[in-house]
Amino acid sequence: MSMNNDMLEAYLFEMHSLLEQLDDLVLAAEEAHTFSQDDVNEIFRIMHTIKGSSAMMEFNSLMTIAHRIEDLFFVIREKTMDAISDELKPEMFDLIFQSIDFFREEIEKVETNQPLSTSIDTFLDKINSFSAKISGEAEDEPAAPSAQPGSAPTAEEAAFASAEFPFGLHVYFDEGVGMENLRAMMLINSVKDYCEESQFDYYPPDVQMNPETANFIIDNGFYIRFRTAGDREEAIPAVKDNGAVKNWQVFDAPEASPAPAQKAAAVAVEPEPVPVEEPSPAPAAVQQSAAPTAAQQSAAKQAHVKESLISVSLSKLDSLMAVISEIVITEAQVTASPDLKGLKLDNFTKAARQLRSLTDNLQDVGLSLRMVPVSATFQKMKRIVRDMSKKLKKETNLVLVGEDTEVDKTVVDSISDPIMHIVRNSMDHGIESDRAERIAAGKDPAGKIILSARQTGGEVIIEVIDDGQGVDDDAVLNKAIRQGLAQPGAEYSHKDILNFLLMPGFSTNTEVTEYSGRGVGMDVVKSNVESVGGTVTITSERGKGMTTTLRIPLNMSIMDGMEVAVGDSIFTVPISDIQQIFKVSDINIIQDATHGEMVKIVDNFYSIVRAKEFYQLNGGVDNLDEGVLLWVESGDNSFCLFVDELIGEQQVVVKPLPDYVNNYGIKNYGVSGCTILGDGSISIILDVATIYSSQNN
């Protein structure tokens, strides 16, 4: 039985990773409107694996469906994607998504010990009829519009299909402008205002999904290609008006007139790092081999990554981390032992230094084990946005920022559901249902949701930003009054009203939709995030959109800290938050009208927060010229923190304070955690941003 369980666990793990891979692949392919030959091979391989593993586990429904899809892709592999006409493609993508969903459902049933589906005939019929369609079509119409007999074009060439879009624009962005892929996406969005989407295409095609395309664009520029010269003329203003565009050039594919075989050849040059203005008439064969290399490389990389992964239970990692933290502390206790004071121990010192660097390494490695990028969670949202934009007929682009931000595994688990909920909410309630409404408001007709992650000192900040209609304060307030959450007649600020959204039992949508608005809503997000000690804030401007910010503390992390003393207390300030440390004399201090103090640094005035007074400590320095000012900055907040003296810089292991003391709301005063110093004493870690906001309240 345990043997069986092990096998089952391995099977489930494999299925989950295969399905995730498949999801990414198909999403990217849908963006490009076609499968590359590599994609086809990959899907064929995945289906083959699913079929084999499922047969071994005797999961028949999974095996049968995987078998049929495998057959389907066998046909596509033989006949290449050109055998599938453009009309059939959307149907094909939907079919594959449906099958991924089917696999997921079945896997879930396996996990929860439910019987598998037995009636899969309707779905099978669907696949069969589609298979019949493409084999039939391929036979009936050997000369399908995009197929080019004789030249045997790769699927990738077909993907660019630039023979249809001979009139090009080659755009370079300002150097160092950053996020070139997003800028390209925005440029495309503005071009759409002038030109039907079906009348042009662009390269790289996956600028929206793949941040790596930014590098291609930096090196080679960004290509937009139009079906007619007229469309291009109309779209040029969009390029001209774009603030980030450095220069742009018009080019016509020289093959615009000659034979189709040549078209394919010349266009294939584009993915290579050769400016298209001077296409070299190289033989078609060479280009075909060059074009797919990048894809092949990435496929090879993927296979490699997969093989070198093992799954380890989190509890083992936790105990490893606990031991490592202990070692780090003990190491410091040994090497800084007061017994050694005054002794000259050359060999000991040398060995201790070596030990120090090794324990540092150990700590880094140990911490990195638990860290996973948020990309997997973010990628899942792509699928949700895709499905919902189809279902709700709201064209929406999802932009991911900071996908590679690494956070603790437990954090990833705790934010996955909240993010999904917020994204659904944005799709459902945020993005306008009517394109005309967006255009009237001067926005891009297609909605945009930005999902971003970044890490500051002691926390991860996740933001979901939509450019939808924003929160209607009056509607929310009325609703809150109806729900008994607000008092009629009372005055509520904009901030108060936004907070109603986070209250239990609040759902603004009058209709219950398939995706969100089941009466549970943002309050679930709030409670999920709070369960890991995080906070949720909403900002919104009517008509401009809404931003939901999740701030999640890092439970276990290592940080470079500056130890400072105030009275007999020791505090740790994250080095990343410190801009500058300096001494001032009383003469440089400016008093404001309310007894506040300020100091001028470069060309700005910054307020001074005295740690001693802020924390009502006994003891400590009162004269500004006897202590030290730390100019700190976190996010948009910048101020000077006045402390007695600096003790030194140290790498510290961040530990949360027990809930027992957190219950007194000390986090609101910037007491975010603590750390154990080399001598075993405890230092309190300060959160600069919270001190700032607390001081201002």
Partner 1 sequence: MSEENGLFARTDEARSALSDKVQETDEEKYLIFRSSNILYALSTAYVIEILNNVTITRIPMVPDYIAGVINLRGAIVPIVDFRLLLGRIPEEESCVIILNIRETSVGIVVDSVDQMVDIARSAILPVPSQNEHRLVSGMCTVPGGVSTIMILDGEALEHIHE
The residue ranges that bind partner 1 (CB under 8 A) are 322, 325-326, 329, 569-570, 615-617, 655-661, 663-666, 669, 671, 674, 676, 680-684
Based on CB atoms, which residue is closest to partner 1, 314 or 661?
Answer: 661
Give 489-552 as a DSSP string.
T----HHHHHHHTTSTT----SSPPSSS-SS--HHHHHHHHHHTT-EEEEEEETTTEEEEEEEE
Pick the closer one to partner 1 by CB: 364 or 613: 613
Task: Name the one residue in this structure whose structure tokens are 């630039």.
Answer: 162
Residue whose CB is less far from partner 1, 69 or 611: 611
Rounded to the nearest whole angstrom, what is the least distance from the CB of residue 658 to partner 1 in the complex? 5
- The C-alpha atoms of residue 498 and residue 686 are separated, in whole angstroms, by 28
For 648, residues 6+ apart whose C-beta sits below 8 A from its C-beta are: 562, 563
Beta strands in 306-446 (DSSP E): 371-373, 396-401, 406-408
What is the DSSP code (8-state) at residue 161? -
The Cα 502–Cα 657 span in angstroms is: 26
* Of 214 and 611, CB closest to partner 1: 611
- Provide the pairing of β-strand 578-582 with 628-634: antiparallel
Nearest to 512 by CA among 435, 429, 431, 437: 429
**Pair 457, 463: CB distance under 8 Å:** no
Q: Quote the least distance from Cβ 561 to partner 1, whole Å.
A: 15
Nearer to partner 1, 78 or 613 (CB): 613
Tell the smallest beta-carbon distance from residue 338 to partner 1 (Å): 15
Nearer to partner 1 by Cβ, of 162 and 557: the residue is: 557
Minimum CB distance to partner 1, residue 318 (Å): 13
> Nearer to partner 1 by C-beta: 540 or 683?
683
Euclidean distance between CA atoms 615 and 297, whole angstroms: 57
- Output the smallest distance, CB 558 to partner 1, in A: 15
Q: State in angstroms the smallest separation of the CB of 656 from partner 1.
A: 8
CB of 599 vs partner 1, minimal distance in Å: 23
What are the beta bridge partners of residue 223?
170, 203
Minimum Å distance from CB 626 to partner 1? 21
Measured torsion, CA atoms of residues 308, 63, 387, 9, in degrees rounded to the nearest 10: -40
Q: Using the minimum distance from each CB to partner 1, give the nearer residue, 192 or 667.
A: 667
Q: Closest approach of Cβ 619 to partner 1, in Å?
A: 11
Reply yes or no: is the peptide bond before residue 204 cis, omega within 30 of 0. Answer: yes
Task: Please state the length of the chain.
Answer: 697
CB nearer to partner 1: give 80 or 672: 672
